[in-house]
Amino acid sequence: MLMMRILRYTFLISFLALISSGLVSADAAHSAVNKSRQSSIEKSFQSEESGDHESEYKDYLAPDEIKALGKVHPRKHLKRSRISKAKPKAEPERKLIALTFDDGPHQNYTPQLLRILKERNVKATFFVVGVMAERYPYLIRAEFRSGHTIGNHTYHHPKLSEMAPMEISHEINTCGDAIERITGIKPRYFRPSGGNYNGEVVSIVKSLGYKMVLWTLNSEDIANLGVTRIVSRIEQRSSNGGIILLHDGVEQTIAALPSIIDVLRSRGYEFVTIDELLGK
């Protein structure tokens, strides 16, 4: 994207100028430029500028703390009664469906997701990892200000079923606190990392005031199926009141998202957030 290139060159020039002047140290200059960069990127989300947006996939490195901890088949964990105390609303006169994105935010991918959703006037739900939210708070604010729902997805993305109760509570509370500091609002929905949970996790989630939300359809976008198969899988398996699991930080998800939206719309689906689907 042209604007991002201009910003990048501006930050580099500013960084070199600060160091060469001798007025500040290299560390201080880097910190100042980084803050300026985040502020400029955040402002770009509020602008109405349109045009082609270049992807920067080659610059992306997935942080170790959010790597998937083994494959989890959703059918082993999915029971409608455990998704939430409030059941999805399958209104006869409306075909409702919710897109949900896990494991973000990511510096290069999340902005692309937000642009696609904005261009197609779709509201979604982002289940974010606390450590990533603190790393890129301006992306959380961008999601929130765009009308998307922000959910809790633990702080470090651990396997909760193998943790002690106090550790489980800490993971959930720390992520919730991070989201609240950034948005000013405590999240109401929780999704366990990897869809992994047991009775202890369910009890703790409820005691902390969250509604636990899983999914009715796993896109398997992290399995490198290819764009065509991801879109086809979602088209064939979607149903009224459905919750679709996707991931923030996956190249194929970015490529497939426009087609996913277009195909489901052509079949009469209306995209809603988890708030709207389950009832506030």
Tokens of 127: 């289940």
- Residue 85 located in a structural domain: yes
80 and 217 together in one domain: yes
Q: Is there a contact between 124 and 148 (Cβ–Cβ < 8 Å)?
A: yes
**Active site members:** 102, 247
The verdict on residue 58 lying in a domain is no
* pLDDT tens digits, one per residue of 248-275: 999 999 999 999 999 999 999 999 999 9
- Does the reported pTM lie above 0.75? no
Does 184 map to a domain? Answer: yes
Convert the pLDDT of each residue in 99-151 to its tens digit.
999 999 999 999 999 999 999 999 999 999 999 999 999 999 999 999 999 99
Same domain, yes or no: 25 and 91: no
Do 110 and 243 lie in a common domain? yes
CA gap 126, 246 in Å, rounded:
10
- Is residue 53 one of the residues assigned to a domain? no
In a domain? residue 55: no
Domain that holds residue 227: 75-278
Within a domain: 116: yes
CA–chain centroid gap for 167, Å, is 23
